[in-house]
Structure 1
């Protein structure tokens, strides 16, 4: 049979006045789209027709019966009753779960079977069993009702109290230094949210690793479908321990660095494109900071990572006039969605408050 619909959602000027066209008019478009297809699927189920998949063209004609307000609300309750009866094999159990009488559930089944012209269940004094048609019908109806429940849950979660788990990836050095205090305060403020952190310098795929949020260091971000929020800009600079400087002397000019052991995050140019020959190269800025505190050499590293040690005198800033200025930014990324879950919004907004000046340098 030819598909009844060719459009993923009716346009605003389609003139539809019924249930399928006016499901929670104030709800976001994505929610109404899902609800529309739920109603289409259920209506087609009731007439033994196969629902069409969403298409990309924008022409739309809706079957008039779908827009009759008096049909679908009763059908949904009847369908729920049918599914519960099949699942539990009992009118009594279904009635208890629906908070209705056994007679009311029985009438719902009768009305559904009469409308379809098909026997869906076999009744006996001890058991209610689905017919062969009833088994197939239960499978398809179940998918429609699950879709409806998922849409409702998504809307409730997006607008409700933040709760649940957030899976976050972040670079280890910044997670252990800059981010840890902020995350600790977030956990204290949102006790109904749990965090799972994947600490790695690798750029993990959101779908492959089931990520909710990524915190990434980069000079700039390439174009993608992700929503990005810049939390802070990071400067690179030189630092060493007082013990190292007492032993090896303090460099006063750029040329003096050739006499010292240099610790760097990569084989890279220093400030102003100056070529440095490192003694130790490591991707983790926190590891270089630890080496510098231990007196291994002069570290060229993100100053935000070394800030606590600089404040407490475990490290000393060197050659501040040669600081590289803005080299990297810390970004918070999450998937673009019409309905961003409340827990994701809570984490995003909290981090924006923790780092309130996007353009500041650390």
Structure 2
């Protein structure tokens, strides 16, 4: 007797990804192997499930009906596994996570490292990249995002905190060029900016009078990597845009000085995002809980409620 579920998961993945090649990549199979699975499934069922051409594929009427039922059946199996999972004392299995580069190295990865140490059966695979990843298509269990969320309704998000940003510089730079005390005094300073697609983010700064003003600055150096900004600032190149959680680390070592704290607007929310599902696996739930517990303290704004300008001699 053949296994009634043989080929079902592969068929659903092919439909969801829209291509044999992408389904094969997600399942770590060859395209040929995926094609053979679908052919065997159609032969066993006695119907054609997919209309296939060299460039596209589409569900047949029978295929659509079968797909709808397969999705419901797999959801029930997922629910059954989740019920068993909830009875376990230890999370287990592979957890795939994507996090931004600097934030990942300094904040998210240490949290997940501690989680992995507590649970030896949990295998954590962390992708550290500033590239925008497709959570569902690329098979991630969790993704940390900084900034506005623009994903579809197929995802769930939970806020981890807010990223505040400050202006920092090396003591050597300030000794040579002076310390700006307001937005107007930023003019003429050498600027290290954060860039997206080669375009520098504007410096919209909260001034001493509580008004938000765009600083009239022309960045000489730009990075799309926050750690690159840190390195240039420590080298004494100029004033730098830096997340407060990162700047604080180098202020403590004396390598940088906080010139204007918590001054950039708008603020950027930090979220953990995961695929929407009726049942959340224990491994995913434990990771979310760990991030929600530890991250807020790491990214809290310096001197909350205090004046944004830090005056220094």
Identify the TM-score tier after normalising by the shorter chain.
Answer: 0.5 to 0.7
1:327 matches 2:267: yes
Residues 193 and 222, structure 2, Cα contact 8 Å, conserved in 1: yes
Cα 1:213–1:150 shift into 2, 3 Å: closer
1:247 matches 2:176: yes
Higher helix share: 1
2-side partners of 1:196 and 1:153: how far apart? 22
Counterpart position of 1:268? 201
1:205 matches 2:134: yes
CA apart distance, 1:220: 4.7
Matches of residues 171-186 of structure 1 in structure 2 within 5 Å?
Answer: 171-186=100-115
Counterpart position of 1:348? 288
1-side partners of 2:68 and 2:224: how far apart? 47
Cα 1:282–1:55 shift into 2, 3 Å: closer
Q: Equivalent residue of 1:259, what SS?
A: coil
1:281 matches 2:222: yes
1-side partners of 2:292 and 2:187: how far apart? 41
1-side partners of 2:275 and 2:76: how far apart? 23
Q: Between 231-240 and 193-202, report the one with greater CA deviation.
A: 193-202
Residues 141 and 284, structure 2, Cα contact 8 Å, conserved in 1: yes
1-side partners of 2:266 and 2:142: how far apart? 24
Residues 269 and 275, structure 1, Cα contact 8 Å, conserved in 2: no
* Structure 2, unaligned runs of 5 or more: 1-44, 46-61, 206-211, 303-313
TM-score by length of 2: 0.63
Matches of residues 1-362 of structure 1 in structure 2 within 5 Å?
Answer: 53=66, 152-160=80-88, 161-221=90-150, 224-266=153-195, 267-270=200-203, 271=205, 272=212, 273-320=214-261, 323-324=263-264, 327-356=267-296, 360-361=300-301
TM-score by length of 1: 0.55
2-side partners of 1:149 and 1:335: how far apart? 17
2-side partners of 1:288 and 1:146: how far apart? 47
Cα 1:228–1:314 shift into 2, 3 Å: same
Residues 141-190 of structure 1: CA deviation (Å, up to 9, x unaligned) = xxxx9999776444323542311111111110111222233233222222
Q: Equivalent residue of 2:153, what SS?
A: coil
CA apart distance, 1:250: 2.0
Residues 236 and 300, structure 1, Cα contact 8 Å, conserved in 2: yes
CA apart distance, 1:261: 1.3
Query: Number of residue pairs matched?
Result: 224
1-side partners of 2:100 and 2:76: how far apart? 39
CA apart distance, 1:264: 0.9
CA apart distance, 1:324: 2.0
Cα 1:247–1:183 shift into 2, 3 Å: farther
Residues 143 and 273, structure 2, Cα contact 8 Å, conserved in 1: yes
Higher strand share: 2
Counterpart position of 2:12? none
Q: Equivalent residue of 1:323, what SS?
A: coil
* Structure 1, unaligned runs of 5 or more: 1-44, 57-144
2-side partners of 1:307 and 1:339: how far apart? 39
Cα 1:334–1:315 shift into 2, 3 Å: same
Cα 1:182–1:245 shift into 2, 3 Å: same
Q: Equivalent residue of 1:207, what SS?
A: coil
